[in-house]
Amino acid sequence: MSHFKLRLYITGRTSQSQRAIDNLRRICEGEFPGLYEVEVIDVLEHPALAEREKILATPTLVKRLPEPVRKIIGDLSDRERVLIGLDLEHLDRGMHP
């Protein structure tokens, strides 16, 4: 299985931000423990980075690797849709996108 390089954009330390961080950690540890790298970026501190990646909404999870690059928006509470976004939907038996 390939290595995941993820970037999570949040705006400030809000409860929504925290929820997204927790959800992401849970999914990564459950699906591909040890095979991922996550950077959490606060747009308020690094607006230029958000500008470069054209982030509009937060939270936004950017799957940088494996390709294709994809943006997943929302607080990642819908686990199935997060897996679709990460191209891992086949792991959920019987799931269709």
Partner 1 sequence: MSRLPPLELTKLPTGIIGFDQIANGGIPKGRSTLISGTAGSGKTVLALQFLLSGVRQFEENGVFVTFEEAPIDLMQNVRSFGWDLEGLLADKRIAVVDATPEPGEETITTGPYDLSALLARIENAIRTVNAKRVILDAIGALFPQLTDPNIIRRELHRIAAGLRQLGVTTLITMERTDEEGGVGRWGVEEFVADNVILLRNRLEQEKRRRTVEILKFRGATHHKGEYPFTIDGEDGVTIIPLSAIELKQRSSQIRVSSGVPELDKMCGGGMYRDSIILTSGATGTGKTLMVSQYIKAAIAAGERALLFGAEESREQLTRNAASWGVDFEQAEKDGLLRIVCRYPEVMGLEDHLIQMKRDILDFKPARVAIDSMSAFERVSTPKSFREFVIALTSTIKHLEITGMLTNTTSMLAGGESITETHISTITDTIILLRYVELHGEMRRGLTVLKMRGTYHDKDIREYTIDSTGPHIHGPFRGVHGILSGTPTYTFDSERSRLNNMFASAPDDPHAGA
The contact set with partner 1 (CB under 8 A) reads: 9, 11-12, 16, 20, 23, 43-44, 47-48, 50-51, 54-61, 70-78, 81-82, 84-85
Judged by beta carbon, residue 37 or residue 78, the one nearer partner 1 is 78
Give me the least distance between CB of 50 and partner 1, in Å please.
5
Give the number of other Cβ atoms within 10 Å of residue 32's Cβ: 16
- Return the closest-CA partner of residue 77 out of 67, 85, 69: 85
Nearer to partner 1 by Cβ, of 6 and 55: the residue is: 55
Minimum CB distance to partner 1 smaller for 5 or for 87 = 87
**DSSP letter, residue 34:** T
| Shortest Å, Cβ 23 to partner 1 | 8
Alpha-carbon distances of 8 from 17, 77, 96, rounded to whole Å: 9, 14, 25
Compute the least distance from the CB of residue 63 to partner 1, in Å.
Answer: 10
- To 5 degrees, how large is the angle CA 90–CA 76–CA 22? 110
